[in-house]
Amino acid sequence: MKLIDKIKQGGKKFEPVKWLSSFAAKRKGQNILATYKEVWIGLGLLMIVVLVIVFSLSSTVDKVSPAVQNVTDILGITDELPRHPLTGVAIDEEYKTLPQVFGIMVENSADAWPLSGIDDAFLVIEAPVEANIPRFIVFFSDEDATAKVGPVRSARSYYLDWNDEFDAVYAHVGGSPEALELIRDKFETIDFNQFWHGEYFYRSTARYAPHNVYTTIENLTSALEELDLKKPEYGTWLFKNDEPVENNGKSLSVNFADGTTYDLDWRYNQKTNDYTRYQGTSIMRLDYGDTVEVNNVAVIATDIKIIDNEGRKSIVTVGEGDALLAQDGKVIVCRWRKEERTERLRFFDIDGEEIKMNAGKTWIEVVSSLSQVTTHE
């Protein structure tokens, strides 16, 4: 019978103070050095017993009563596994080297629908480009196996700031003059322009230009040897386990472009504790009928300005501002913060504590004002 089982069955109580007093009384008049030696031996045996008890408690934490589990809490014993640095999903052991990340520009023009592969991204950031048509930067790692991502479109300057917080390979097809100049002369962005790396992209004959360029994660991963990159260094979020609400929970809608085509709705599903994306008036469907379900949805408000006659935009990415975060059926009023261009975008509560994200996938919507957002059941 295990020691922990004997304790649970209520064996005779061991009281070390009384034992030592009794022991000293019995040895009265004997060699004092010998007496102390045996006392220390007794204390050593007592410590061994205590360690055995602690080990038994930690190894049987899932099998013992709540009272014994409280003891493991006091001792700081936990069975929580390490988490994946990008998704927060529990893993068997911590990474020695961070996964390489790819940031891929994907359009969201109605002419390009249905899109491909974006439902598999661990993170997507959506912001407006010309005519308030939204565009995505979708993030994958070299561990992913998504077979088709796109249509891939051109670079914009503000997406570089989100890409470079991961030391990510930035996959795109050309770009605005400002973005290309920053890549060439100022930033250390790992540039992967289809113009110069065409063999890792392909054009679909089922689409017309410019909505027909695609890539795969396998293609991008195969290019890493050619790029000969140093090991990536990037910050990670804090993660937690799901804590779904008991009722139906809150969903949120974003008036993205003053119309129905690109307005979007994230509807909460209490049974699965995730959010399904609706675009316009219907559920967003990708090719092969895939839909988009994510674990966290954030909306950040920041300064957005038109900078040229083409309607291209400048978006403030560094600093902080108001935000909303939807997770577990709750919509949290919070603050977004990105302290440096290459630092991670993070979220903080009203007390200034960083908010833990649910493990899984996250989408971030970028707007000029939170007045564009409404919540509903």
pLDDT of residue 281: 85
Mean pLDDT of 241-258: 92
258 neighbors 320 (Cβ within 8 angstroms): no
Lowest-pLDDT range of 22-26, 109-113, 270-274, 348-352:
22-26
Q: What is the pLDDT of residues 347-375, one digit of tens each?
A: 999 999 999 999 999 999 999 999 999 99
Torsion, CA 194, CA 140, CA 353, CA 296, rounded to 10: 110
Across the chain, mean pLDDT equals: 86
Q: Over 50: is that where the pLDDT of 345 sits?
A: yes
pLDDT of residue 61: 37
Gap between the Cα atoms of 244 and 274, Å rounded: 9
215 neighbors 152 (Cβ within 8 angstroms): yes
Confidence category of residue 11, pLDDT binned at 50, 70, 90: very low
The DSSP bridge partners found for residue 211 are none
| Helix locations, the chain, DSSP H | 3-8, 16-26, 32-59, 66-74, 157-164, 177-185, 217-222, 224-227
Mean pLDDT of 87-91: 96
Q: Over 70: is that where the pLDDT of 333 sits?
A: yes
Q: Over 90: is that where the pLDDT of 72 sits?
A: no
Q: DSSP state, 230?
A: P
pLDDT of residue 53: 53
Q: What is the pLDDT of residues 289-328, one digit of tens each?
A: 999 999 999 999 999 999 999 999 999 999 999 999 999 9
pLDDT of residue 222: 96
Mean pLDDT of 224-231: 94
Residue with tokens 């994660």: 217
326 neighbors 297 (Cβ within 8 angstroms): yes
How many CB atoms lie under 10 A from the CB of residue 289? 7
Q: Over 90: is that where the pLDDT of 55 sits?
A: no
Higher pLDDT, residue 26 or 110: 110
Q: Over 80: is that where the pLDDT of 34 sits?
A: no
Which pTM was predicted? 0.80
pLDDT of residue 256: 87
Q: Over 50: is that where the pLDDT of 8 sits?
A: no
pLDDT of residue 351: 95
Q: Which two tokens stand for residue 315?
A: 């978006």
pLDDT of residue 42: 60
Confidence category of residue 46, pLDDT binned at 50, 70, 90: low
Q: Over 90: is that where the pLDDT of 29 sits?
A: no
Q: Over 70: is that where the pLDDT of 66 sits?
A: no
What DSSP line would sit under 170-218, residue for residue?
A: EEES-B-HHHHHHHHHT---EEEETTT-GGGEEE-TTS-TTS-EEE-HH
119 neighbors 293 (Cβ within 8 angstroms): yes
Gap between the Cα atoms of 346 and 294, Å rounded: 18
Alpha-carbon Rg for the chain in angstroms: 29
Mean pLDDT of 266-273: 96
Gap between the Cα atoms of 24 and 27, Å rounded: 5
Gap between the Cα atoms of 318 and 213, Å rounded: 31
Name 222's Cβ contacts closer than 8 Å, sequence gap at least 6: 200
Q: Which two tokens stand for residue 12?
A: 């005779």
